[in-house]
Amino acid sequence: MNFAHKVWRVLVAVKDGLVLALMLLFFGALYGALTARPAAVPKREGALLIRLDGQVVEETQKVEWQQLLSGGDDVAEVRERDVVRALRGAVSDSKVRAVVIDLSKFAGAGFVHAQDIGAAMDRLRAANKPVLVYGTMIGGNGVLIAAHASEVWIDPLGGAYVEGLGGEHLYYGKLLERLKVTAHIFRVGTYKDYVEPYFRNDMSEPSRAARKALYGAVWQQWRDDVAKARPKAQIDRVVADPVGWFKASGGDAAQASLAAGLVDHLGTPAEFGAHVAKLAGEDRTDKRPGAYAHMTLGQWLAANRPANNGKAIGVVTIAGEITDDKAGPGSAGGERIAKLIDAAEGRKLAALVIRVDSPGGSVTGSEAIRTAILRQKARGLPVIVSMANVAASGGYWVSTPGTRIFAEPGTITGSIGIFAVVPSFEKALAAWGVNGDGVRTTPLSGQPDVLTGLTPEIEAILQANIEAGYGRFVGLVAASRHKTPAQINQIAQGRVWDGGTARQIGLVDQFGGIDDALAYAAKAAKLDDGDWHAEYLGADTGPLGRWVQHMRQSEDGDSPNEPNGNDWAGMVAMHQRRQMAGMIGDVDRLMGAGGAQAYCLDCAALPGNGSHHGPVRGLSGLGWRVAAWLGVLGGQ
C-alpha cells in the first residue's frame, strides 16, 4: 500500500511538472508574440484603407490583461498622428492609387483632430489621388472629415446628419436635497461651473453666456470648414428646418442626405467596394462581393517607419484627465508623466515639446507635471507647448512653463480656476435615526467628517485653501504670459475660450499644430531641417496594447464588405449609452474626486473632447477617500 502511494505521488508530480512546463511554454510564446514588433509587409498596390473604428485620439490607452480577459470596456481607438502620417505619405506613395476612409464604426473625434485629418485629405486630392469615404450613419465631426473627400458614400439604410454643438446637462440640486445629501462646494471663478450641477437645478447666467460664446465660435469654425471643403453641402437648410428637410425626402434619411449635398452616392458596401475596385484594382485573392486591392493602415505604417535622422526632439503627451497616479498612456497620470519628463535628461534631447489634449483634473497632479517641465527648462532645454483639441484648466496649468504656446483656432483653452466638492450625509443619516456625537480637543478633530457633517471651521479652511490655489494659478499664468495677476484675473474666473480668442487675449502665442511646434523647437535648438526627428516619449502602451492596436489596424475584418447595422435607431441607442455613462460619471465625480480640481466641464461637453477616451468605468463605491480631502489642506 505504501509502495502504491509513492508511485501515485510520483505520477502526480510528473503530471504537475508537465502542466507547468506547458504553461511556461504557452505564456513564453504569447509574450514573444506580443513583444515582437509587427514585421513590415511588402507594399501592395491598390487602395490605402483607413478604418476609423472607435474614437480618434491623441494617445491610445494602455490595455490591461484583466480588461481584455474579462471582455470589459474595450473601446476601439485610432491614433490621430498615425492617420495623418499615412495620409501625407500616401501623396508620394506610387503604390497607393486611392485612399478609402471607412466611417462605418466611427465613434468620434475632436474638432482639431478632424480638421487635421481633413487637411491631410486635401493634400491627396491636390495630388489627384481620389479619397473616398464610406459610412452608415455620419454625424458631427464625421461630416467634417467626409466633407474633405472626393466622394462620400453611405449605406441606403443610413444617413448623414448635423446636430451642432451643445445640449442639455443634468442638474442634481433638488435630487440631492431630497436624498438629504449635502454637497459642500468650494470654488473660485464666476464661470467655474463644474460644480453647478451639484447645488443648482439649472444653468447660471454667467455659465450660459460663456457657453454661448464658446459654442458659437467653434460652431462657426465647423460650418466654415465644411462649406469651404464641400460648397454644395446645404448646411443652412439642414440646421434651419431639420424636420422639413427630412420629410421632403419622404422620411428617407439617405435620400435626404443626398438631396442636401452631404453625400454623393448611396450604395451597399459591396457596391461601394466594386466602385473602389475600378479605381484601385481588384483583389484577386478575395472573391467576396465588393473586395478590392488594398493595404490597411497598420500594414502601411509597418512598411513605412518614421525617419529618425539627427537629434531627437522629445514629445511628451498629456492626454485625458489629469490624476495624481501612474495612469496611462491614454490618460494623464501626473506621477507617470513627471517621471517620464525627468527621465528625458538621460536621452540627450535637443528640445522638448509638450503636447496637451486634456480638460484638466487634479491640481496636485498638474503641479507635479509642471514642476517636472521646469526642471528640464532649468537645464536649458527649449520647451514648447502644442495644444490639440483642448488644453484647459489643469491642461493650461501644465502649459504655463512653455516658452511658446501653439494652438489651433478651434482649440479649447483657458478655464483658469479651481474647485473642490465634498458630499456629506448627516441629514440622510438623521432621517434614519443616526446622529453623531463626541468630544473634540480642537475644532478640526475628526474633520472632515462626511457622515456627521463638516464644521464651519473646516469649511472656512477649505474655501481659503481653494482661494489660495486660485491665486497661485493666476500667478503662474501671469508670470508665464508676462502680465500682472490683475490682468489675468480679468480673463480667468474659470472662463473657457476658443483658440482664436485665446490668442487675442494673450493666453496663446501662435496658431499651429504639432508640426509647427516641432519646427519652432528645432529652430530654438539651432537645428537645420533634416537634422532632427520627433521622439514620442512614453507612448508605448506595452506589448499587449501594441498587439491589440496592430490587430485592429491590420485585420481585414467585416468592414466595409459587410453591413453593421448602425442605422438611425442605432445612433439613438449610442447617444443613450453616452448619456447614461455621463450620468454615472457625474455621480462618480461627486463621490470620488480627490483634492482640489482644475477641471473644465465645458470642454468635456464638446464632441470628442471628453475627459477620458473610453466610457466611464464604474462608480468609486462607498470609499469616498476622506483622506483625499485632507490632502487639500496641504496647500497647492
Give the helix/strand (H/E) hosting 8.
helix 2-35
Of 204, 196, 207, 208, whose CA–CA distance to 171 is shortest?
A: 196
SS3 167: coil
How many whole angstroms separate alpha carbon 575 and alpha carbon 580? 9
The answer to whether 44 touches 294, Cβ cutoff 8 Å, is yes
Query: Of 104, 393, 399, 480, which residue is the catalytic one?
Result: 393
How many whole angstroms separate alpha carbon 308 and alpha carbon 533? 5
Residue 409 DSSP symbol: T
The answer to whether 363 touches 598, Cβ cutoff 8 Å, is yes
Cell numbers found for residue 16: 504537475
Estimate to the nearest angstrom the gap between the alpha carbon of 383 and the chain centroid.
23
Active-site residue 393, yes or no?
A: yes
Number of other residues whose CB lies within 10 A of the CB of residue 130 = 17
How many whole angstroms separate alpha carbon 414 and alpha carbon 474? 11
Instruction: Write down the residue that cell numbers 525617419 correspond to.
Output: 307
Sheet of strand 322-323: strand arrangement:
182-188, 418-424, 597-599, 360-362, 322-323, 332-333
Kindly give the residue spans of alpha helices, DSSP state H, lying in 248-385: 253-259, 269-280, 297-303, 334-343, 363-378
Query: Of 192, 415, 559, 611, which residue is the catalytic one?
Result: 192
State the amino acid at position 124 in one-letter form: L
**β-pairing, 311-319 with 351-358?**
parallel
Instruction: Write down the residue that cell numbers 477641471 correspond to.
Output: 599
How many whole angstroms separate alpha carbon 210 and alpha carbon 191? 7
List Cβ neighbours of 574 (8 Å cut-off, separation of 6 or more): 107
The answer to whether 194 touches 207, Cβ cutoff 8 Å, is no
The answer to whether 561 touches 419, Cβ cutoff 8 Å, is no
SS3 283: coil
Cell numbers found for residue 363: 491640481
502-505: long-range contacts, CB 8 A cutoff, minimum separation 24: 502/407, 502/411, 502/413, 502/414, 503/407
The answer to whether 422 touches 454, Cβ cutoff 8 Å, is yes
Active-site residue 62, yes or no?
A: no
Q: Which residues are catalytic, by number?
A: 192, 393
